[in-house]
Each structure stands twice: as C-alpha cells, then as structure tokens.
Chain A
Amino acid sequence: MSPLLEVKGLRRDYGPLRAVDDVSFQLEPGSILGFIGPNGAGKSTTLRILATLDAPTSGEVLLGGHSLVDTPDRVRPLIGYMPDRYGTYDDVTVFEFLDFFARAYGLTGAKRRQRVESVMGFTGLVPLADRLTTALSKGMRQRVALGRTLLHDPSLLLLDEPADGLDPRARIELRELLRALADQGKAVIISSHILTELAEICDTCAIIEQGRLLATGKVEDILRQGTGVAAVELTVRLAAGAGLEAAWARAERLLLEQPRVSRVSREGDSLRVELELEAGGGAGQVDAAAAALLAVLVTAGLPVCFFGTRERNLEDAFMTVTKGRLA
C-alpha cells in the first residue's frame, strides 16, 4: 500500500534552537501512529507543521502526493487537527458548535445538517445536542472536539495529547472511536505521554527526543529495539512454608547458574529474572528458555507456585531508546 503521508528530513529552527531535527517517517491509510516523547521533544511542533500551522525550516512533507510545504492550501482539507486544548465556546450548544464549524468548512444546506448529525451519531453526542459545550465533562468535550475534527471528512487525523486528563472509561471509548476511524481508512497520528495507552491503540510508533526521531516502526519491533538482544523478564514465586528463605536463596543461585540468565533480583515475594536471547529468535525461543528454567527449579524440588513471563512494554522501550535523557 502506498503511504498517505511521507515526512522526509523535517527540520524546524527557532533562532538557535532546533526544535525538530531531520525527522522522517511514513504513514499508510488505516494505520495509527503513536508519537512518543517527553515535554519539549518536538512532538507538538511536528504536529503543527503537519497541520500546516507552521512551516518547516527544511524538509519535505507529502500528503496524498502533494507537498504540504509548497501547497498548504491544497492539502489542508485532507487534515483534521485536534490540538491539546479542545477549544469550545461559551453559550453555544453541541449542535450549534458543530454546525458552526460545518459552515466554516463550507458545507451548506441539508448536506451540512446531515454531516453534523452523522458525526454526532458516530461520536455518541446525539443525546447531548442541546447541551451547552461548557457544561460538558472533559470526556464529552473531547468527543465534541473529535467530532469537529471529522466534519470535513479528512484523510489524516492529527491528535495532540487526546487522552490527557480523561478518565479510564473515556479513554477506552476514545480508543474504540479511533480504531473505528482507522478501519474506515483514515490515518491517525496521536501524540501522548501515556505510553501504555498508546501501545493498545497504535499499530506503529515513533519515539522523539530533543527534536530527533530515535526509533520508528511497528510497536512490537520498537519493543525489541535498543539492546541488540531480545530481553525477557520472568517472574517466579515460591509457595510459603518452612525454610522459605533458604529456598529463595537456592532458587536465586540456581537461576544465575543457567545460560542466558543475565540478572536475578528479589522483588517482594517474587524473583525477577532477566534473560538475554538472540534478536529475531521469536516467541519460540522465549518459551523454550522459560520451560528449561522451570524444569531446573522443579527438578531441584523448589515449591514453585507461579512462573510467568513479564513482557516489555512501551515504557521500557521508551526508556531504553531514549536512555532516560531529558529534553
């Protein structure tokens, strides 16, 4: 599938400060890209450039084959941008708010009315049509903002920190809405600090720090990236009983003697075991190593009551890739 969005060598300088430095990535229709980075990493600047609100110092951005830098007016209708502030008006109802933006996008007559109704139906705002936007909860206002973003049926959605400050239910609902939009063929870019949330929503992710893109690709590839080896963590718990401390010590010693075990540490009532496996070995390699370790423990007569792998998450990958540097 040809990419909808191609970002090549994007750079943005503010005087001596380089906010975005040689950022390149691609995005296909129907995919969701998570844009991860600490505060000041350049996420919002990149999104603002993609939204045509700012011009890059150098680099190229192609959206649907058209240059966003040379012909911003032409590609703007293809973009739906939701900034981190939702932006609602006082004394305006949900319907009036969406109706106003539909007018602003040039929709007229019955087409406008039906587009507004269709967006309200999609975002679940129909029961709130006559409520003032200022009287809505944060989750609902966020839906109104998403509805506004969808009014002109854009191909690319740019969402800056959309899950920030939402309660768990609203986050799950947002995730479902975004998934539905991606299924419809829209490409979505989400910037966020909440990495666990992104891992569940995104197909691909990009990690940015100090304006530079440190890693980009499918989420599972990113999870393995950074160490050169696939690191797997095991959690082992022993059943309570007489001589438990001695059993812990024995288990720790036994595990450390095994090949591929790089580190064993005690964490409360469990042992954390770190394995170093060959990169690209796949899930089978992890399973084989885990089974071998379990066999060693059981054969040694240790009372194992829990044994499981702890998978690396996006936070671990982020810390590995960025090495914890702050922008």
Chain B
Amino acid sequence: MSAPVESSVGTVSLQERWGDRLNPLVVKEVRQGLRTRIFWASFGLNLIACVVLALVAFVQTRELSFSHHGQGYFFAFFICLAVAHYFVIPYGAYRSLAREREDDTWVLLVLTGLGPRRILRGKVASALVQAGLYASAVGPFLLFSYYLNGISLPSILTVLGLGGTWLVFLTVVAVCAATLAESRMGRAFMHFVVLGALGMAFSTALGVGGALSDSGSRLLSKYGVQLAMGVGLGVMVLDGWLLFEVAASRLSLSTEDYTKGPRRAVVAQMLVALLVGLGFWWYEDRKHVVTEIFSICGTVHLAFVGLFLVSDVDGQARALRAGTGPLSLFRPGALRGFRLTVLLFVAWAAVWGALALVSDDLNTNSEAMRMLMMVMPAYAVLYLSLALVLGRMPRSDRFSSPASVRLLFVAAVGVAAGLPPLLAELAGFDMGDPLLNLLNPVVGIANFGTHDYSTSEPEMTWPLATFVVGVALLLAFLADRALVEREKRAHPP
C-alpha cells in the first residue's frame, strides 16, 4: 500500500473549467437533487398538470373569436408553479441544511475553508437552480395564458417579480430555520414549524397572486397597494439579508468573527429604513405622523433584534481579541452587542425626535407622540438591561446563557406589564394609573402616547418621561459594568 501521490496534470474541458467557478455545493446539490424521486415526481406532475390545463384551455377557446380566459388560466398555471416554488423548494432547502447539521457534515464543510456564507449561498443557489428548472417547465404556459387575453402584461410581470422575491425570501427563511434547533426535540419541533409556515406562505402566495391576476391593473394603480408592495419588497430584501447573516453566524465557529455579518445587517437595515423614512417624510410634506410611524416601527424592530444582540456569550475567541478596540462593536461578545444596541436606540430616537420637532402638520396629539417616541426606546433599553443585570451580574452562571437572558427579558416584561394593573386594582386605583404604571412597558407606553382632551394636555409629563429615561440609563450602566466584569473573567491572561 502506498500513500497518495500526485500524477501529472492532464487537460481540462471548458465545461470543467466553468464547473470549477461554481460554488461546489451547487454542483453537488444539483447532482443530488436531480437523482431524487421527489424532484422527478413533482416536476413530472407539474408538467402534466400544465399540459392538461393548456389542452383544456385550447378546447375551451378554439371556437371563440375572442376569449378573455387568460386570468383564470394564468392563476391555474401559477398554482402549479406555487406548489413547487413555495413549498417543495424551500422545504428541500430546509431539509438539506438540517441534514448537514444532523449528520455533522456541516463541520466537515466548514473545515474545508468554504466558510458558512459560501455554504449557505450554495444551499440557496442550488435551491434556486432547481426552482429555475420548474420555472422553465411552467414558464411557457404562463406566457401562453397572456395570449388567452384577460390579463395584462404588467400584472403577469408583477406577480412573477413578487413571486420570485417571495421564493428567495422563503428559501432563506427555511435555510435559517434549519440552523436554529440544536437538540433532537428542537429539530422535530422546528420541522413542524417550517411545514406550517410554508403552508401559510403558500396560501399567502396564492392569495396575493389570485388578487393581482384577478384585478391587477386596477390594484396596481392604487397608491396604497404600491406602498404595501414597496414595503413588502423592502422587508423581504432587508429581513432576508438579516436572516441569511443570522444563519451564517449560527454556522460559524467560535473562533470566527461570527457577529460581524448580522450586526452589519442590522445597522444597514436601520440606515436604509432611515433613508426611506426621510424620503417619505419629505415626499409627504414633512408630516409629523411619518416620524411617529417610523420611530415606533423601528424601535419595535430594534427591540426584537436587540434581544439577540445583547444576549451573545461573554467575551470572544483569543484570535479575535488582538484587533478589538472600544469601537469594534461588530466583534463578538455580549458587551459589544449591548453597546451597539443602546447606540442604535439613542441614534434612532434622536433622529426621529429631531425630525418630529421640525415637522409640519402638527395636531393635538403630537406632543404626546413625541414623548412616546422618546420613552419607547428607553423602555426597550431598560428591560434589555434589566434582563442582563439579572442574568449576568451574579457570579453564578445559572441564568447567564443567551437563552436564559432572553427568557428573563420576556419574564421581566411580562411581570412589569401585568403586576402594576393588578396592584392598582387591589388597592382600589384606576388600573391604568399613570404613576403606578410608570415603568409598565405596555400601559406606560400607552399612557405616554395618550392626549387628555379634558385638560388639552398630554396625559404624562416631560419630567416623568425624563425619569423613565434616567432609570433606563442607570440600568444600562449597571448592565454595561456587569458585562465588562464578565468579559474580564472570560478572557483569562
């Protein structure tokens, strides 16, 4: 037996040279995919269904001098494609990555130097290649429906454009879901969640596709529909990107800079939302209500995302420590995640607060809403900090894991939202009492946003808002110290 020895290098075909440029996973997954029964069964059934529908359409319309059955047949062909695009393909992508993790082959992939991003891109790309094969089968029939009249080309293109984005988004979501569960029970649970979510996604696609093919031209001319489509597309692109980065982060090794991608995506999301908001605010004649909507939606989004940023593990691998400075907020570690989150909240509140001050079109509720815009981020920082203080300040590691910190946040918000109204009720006060509910993350926020028409004043006052901000800053300081202390322990000399 002899060890492997290199022999001379032979010639390489053009096809092979092109193959070398492709992501290796695409080559492997497409080879694999084309061998599976599920692909050939669904592809064959799809094609047969389309051919049968086309024959029915031909028989139905051949005697007519002018038909307008296009929209009905377009929707029927779209259903055929939707089964594959919004269920079979994303589910296949989910299973493909889930099996890599179950069988531990993803570790082998990571060690090859491919990196989690290329692995995920390969997974998504190979799913899209298979989606392309389905589309190539159904595409001619969709075009055929246009010649049956009754549906406009813009409607067809809108459905296909939105449908394509929906397909990519669903595939990314499915791949991300495959990275979430670690245990066997978790994976089984996630499997059912994905199946349910894809069922809903399929129904949504049919609903939107049906509505657009039925009355596309009329709907597309409405400002509200255009706005909703724009928002939907924006959310799919930006959240799809964030989810992709989250999945890559979960597949990364602890020695890698696994937080850079997701944190960069969050900052980019907020910047894009800010720019869009600014543009919209200007386009809408600097209406105050635009600042309110963007401030509130952004804060809610940031609170959800921030929960994951702040609950990262303590410290980072030694390989990354050397290049980490005070401003390296994209580097791993709960400390930097927390600081980035607080910074984003402050920046978001400051920008929209400033824009609210220079806005026109003020109404009686505007001052209360400005107060709300200031305290909402404060509430978020307050409860995120509280969860960190409870979980990470003690020297014990009992509640310090990322999952524990997230649960503590939910528990703290739940208790703070439910307890004050209960106490008020027992003590004979009004359940929505402003002072008792001052730190209530639900009733308190609602109180700050309420205008008292009997006094023509906001229900809450600026000193109370300042108090909430002060408590949030104090807790943020405590959480920051706790995280600094834990990072020192996690980085032994």
Name the A residues within 8 Å of B6 (CB-CB).
111, 114-115, 118
- Is A51 at the interface (CB under 8 A from chain B)? yes
Q: Decide yes or no: A55 and B317 within 8 Å by CB, A109-B17, A118-B7, A180-B1 being known contacts.
A: yes
Name the A residues within 8 Å of B8 (CB-CB).
114
Name the CB-closest residue of A to B37: A91
Name the A residues within 8 Å of B104 (CB-CB).
83, 85, 87
The answer to whether B20 and A109 have CB atoms under 8 Å apart is yes
The answer to whether A108 and B20 have CB atoms under 8 Å apart is yes
The answer to whether A76 and B20 have CB atoms under 8 Å apart is no
Pick the contact of A122 from B2, B7, B28, B492 — CB < 8 Å? B2
Number of residue pairs across A and B with beta carbons under 8 Å?
127
The answer to whether B114 and A180 have CB atoms under 8 Å apart is no
Q: Per DSSP, are chain B's interface residues mostly helix, strand or loop, or mixed?
A: loop
Q: Closest approach, in angstroms, between the C-beta of B125 and any C-beta of chain A?
A: 14
Name the CB-closest residue of B to A176: B1
B316-361 at interface with A (beta carbon < 8 Å): 317-319, 322
- Is A196 at the interface (CB under 8 A from chain B)? no
- Is A65 at the interface (CB under 8 A from chain B)? no
Q: Closest approach, in angstroms, between the C-beta of B283 and any C-beta of chain A?
A: 47
Name the CB-closest residue of B to A92: B32
Pick the contact of A71 from B1, B10, B24, B319 — CB < 8 Å? B319
Cα–Cα distance between A115 and B338 once the two chains are bound (Å): 48
The answer to whether A122 and B4 have CB atoms under 8 Å apart is yes
The answer to whether A92 and B111 have CB atoms under 8 Å apart is no
Please count how many residues in chain B sit with their CB below 8 Å of the partner chain's CB atoms: 43
Pick the contact of B32 from A15, A90, A112 — CB < 8 Å? A90
Return the CB mask of B8-39 against A: 1 if under 8 Å, else 0: 11111000110010001101100110011000
The answer to whether A103 and B20 have CB atoms under 8 Å apart is yes
A30-60 at interface with B (beta carbon < 8 Å): 51-55, 57-58
The answer to whether A101 and B3 have CB atoms under 8 Å apart is no
Cα–Cα distance between A70 and B316 once the two chains are bound (Å): 12
Please count how many residues in chain A sit with their CB below 8 Å of the partner chain's CB atoms: 56
Name the CB-closest residue of B to A181: B3
- Is B103 at the interface (CB under 8 A from chain A)? yes
Cα–Cα distance between A100 and B24 once the two chains are bound (Å): 6
- Is A127 at the interface (CB under 8 A from chain B)? no
The answer to whether B32 and A89 have CB atoms under 8 Å apart is yes
- Is B203 at the interface (CB under 8 A from chain A)? no
- Is A317 at the interface (CB under 8 A from chain B)? no
Q: Closest approach, in angstroms, between the C-beta of A115 and any C-beta of chain B?
A: 7
Q: Closest approach, in angstroms, between the C-beta of A14 and any C-beta of chain B?
A: 10
The answer to whether B105 and A89 have CB atoms under 8 Å apart is yes
Return the CB mask of A187-231 against B: 1 if under 8 Å, else 0: 000000000000000000000000000000000000000000000
A282-312 at interface with B (beta carbon < 8 Å): none
Name the B residues within 8 Å of A57 (CB-CB).
492
The answer to whether B28 and A110 have CB atoms under 8 Å apart is no
Return the CB mask of B355-381 against A: 1 if under 8 Å, else 0: 000000000000000000000000000
- Is A119 at the interface (CB under 8 A from chain B)? yes
Name the B residues within 8 Å of A77 (CB-CB).
113
Cα–Cα distance between A119 and B8 once the two chains are bound (Å): 15
Pick the contact of A183 from B3, B16, B20, B32 — CB < 8 Å? B3
Return the CB mask of B94-134 against A: 1 if under 8 Å, else 0: 00000000011101111111100000000000000000000
Q: Decide yes or no: A91 and B32 within 8 Å by CB, A110-B12, A111-B9, A181-B3 being known contacts.
A: yes
- Is B157 at the interface (CB under 8 A from chain A)? no
- Is B63 at the interface (CB under 8 A from chain A)? no
Q: Decide yes or no: A76 and B111 within 8 Å by CB, A109-B9, A184-B3 being known contacts.
A: yes
Pick the contact of B35 from A91, A105, A109, A148 — CB < 8 Å? A91
Name the A residues within 8 Å of B1 (CB-CB).
122, 176-177, 180
Cα–Cα distance between A55 and B16 once the two chains are bound (Å): 38
- Is B215 at the interface (CB under 8 A from chain A)? no
The answer to whether B4 and A148 have CB atoms under 8 Å apart is no
Q: Closest approach, in angstroms, between the C-beta of B206 and any C-beta of chain A?
A: 31
Cα–Cα distance between A263 and B380 once the two chains are bound (Å): 75
Cα–Cα distance between A181 and B7 once the two chains are bound (Å): 18
Cα–Cα distance between A15 and B20 once the two chains are bound (Å): 44
- Is A69 at the interface (CB under 8 A from chain B)? yes
Q: Closest approach, in angstroms, between the C-beta of A313 and any C-beta of chain B?
A: 26
The answer to whether A81 and B2 have CB atoms under 8 Å apart is no
Name the B residues within 8 Å of A55 (CB-CB).
254-255, 317-319
Q: Closest approach, in angstroms, between the C-beta of B171 and any C-beta of chain A?
A: 20
Name the A residues within 8 Å of B10 (CB-CB).
110, 113-114
Cα–Cα distance between A15 and B486 once the two chains are bound (Å): 12
B300-327 at interface with A (beta carbon < 8 Å): 317-319, 322
Name the CB-closest residue of A to B35: A91
Cα–Cα distance between A93 and B213 once the two chains are bound (Å): 45
Cα–Cα distance between A77 and B111 once the two chains are bound (Å): 8
A67-96 at interface with B (beta carbon < 8 Å): 69-73, 76-77, 79, 81, 83, 85, 87-92, 96
Cα–Cα distance between A104 and B322 once the two chains are bound (Å): 29
The answer to whether A100 and B27 have CB atoms under 8 Å apart is yes
> What 4 pairs between A and B have smallest CB-CB spacing?
A103-B24, A104-B112, A184-B3, A109-B12
7 contacts between A and B (CB under 8 A): A52-B255, A81-B107, A87-B104, A109-B12, A109-B17, A113-B10, A148-B108
Partner-B contacts on A (CB < 8 A): 15-16, 51-55, 57-58, 69-73, 76-77, 79, 81, 83, 85, 87-92, 96, 100-101, 103-106, 108-115, 117-119, 121-122, 148, 150, 152-153, 176-177, 180-181, 183-184
Partner-A contacts on B (CB < 8 A): 1-12, 16-17, 20, 24-25, 27-28, 31-32, 35-36, 103-105, 107-114, 253-255, 317-319, 322, 397, 492
